[in-house]
Amino acid sequence: DRQIKIAPSILSADFAAFGAEVRAIEAQGADWVHVDVMDGHFVPNLTFGPQLVKAIRPHVKTVMDVHLMIAPVDPYIDAFADAGADILTAHVEAGPHIHRTLQAIRGAGMKAGVALNPGTPAEAVAPLLDDVDLVLVMSVNPGFGGQKFIHATIDKIAALREMIGDREIHLEVDGGVDVATAPLVAKAGADALVAGSAVFRGGSVDEAQIYGENIAAI
Ligand code: DX5
Ligand code: ZN
């Protein structure tokens, strides 16, 4: 029996009130806070960096789950460790030396995650499974919240769950996860669900509770 972690993405929060927003999602029962870091180069959008992680860290006890959509990654690893990131996830597509990057993340005292874009096959992370704590499957093209879930992702999640076997690795799904798609990804084997617009919809985190009840019913 796998316990599902809920990781609200603050990409859909009120940017003028991050402290209050993360306290609210923690109060609603979020397990992790998902922080989407974008560089306007690896993805066509800009968000925030280690300073934001440092600023929100004292507001909550939840795990800081930081998703880097940046290239290169290595020059920023120490800054995220110092800021208080618990999990640092880099994209397998972000550079030619993902294995070195994952080692550096663990070396800096964090859990290491590897993310795959929708167009990247599950096999791309097979050689990395002994060196990661988390695999993040993108179920939309990274860059923006509020996009439509790509259903081909379901088979990829199932394939990755099989490949992971009995290793202690979280399988996280990110993009278009809502009350309709959450049960599908959980049944396919995901154990960590990122949700941006489904949690912050309408500018209110009240939706998170509804969301949580649905997850509990899976
Ligand atoms: C997209 C980000 C996601 C995004 C999810 O690049 O990685 O975390 O915020 O947002 P929703 O849940 O709205 O698809
Ligand atoms: Zn993300």
Instruction: Using the atom order of ligand 1, give the atom closest to the CA of residue 143.
Output: 6
Q: What is the CATH number of the domain that holds 87?
A: 3.20.20.70
Complex ipTM: 0.98
179 or 148, greater pLDDT: 148
pLDDT at 209: 47
- Fill in the DSSP letter of residue 43: S
Active site residue 155: no
Give residue 218's pLDDT: 44
The answer, yes or no, to whether residue 213 has pLDDT greater than 90, is: no
Residue 59's pLDDT band (cuts 50, 70, 90): very high
Q: How confident is the model at residue 211 (pLDDT cuts 50, 70, 90)?
A: low
Please tell me if the CB atom of residue 175 comes closer than 6 angstroms to any atom of ligand 1.
Answer: yes
Burial class (CB in 10 A: 0-12, 13-18, 19+), 79: middle
- pLDDT tens per residue, range 164-184: 999 999 999 999 998 889 999
Q: CA-to-CA distance for 197 and 27, rounded, in angstroms?
A: 18
Who wins on pLDDT, 101 or 211?
101
Name the burial class of residue 134, with classes exposed (0-12), middle (13-18) and buried (19+) by CB atoms within 10 angstroms of its CB: buried
| Domain count within the chain | 1
Mutate to test the pocket of ligand 1, among 35, 39, 144, 173 (most ligand atoms within 8 A of CB): 144
* Average pLDDT in the chain: 92
In a 13 Å sphere around the CA of 47, the CA atoms on its Cβ side amount to 29
Other CB atoms closer than 10 Å to residue 126's CB: what's the count?
Answer: 11
Domain coverage including residue 117 = 5-216
Using the predicted structure, report yes or no on whether residue 58 has a pLDDT greater than 60: yes
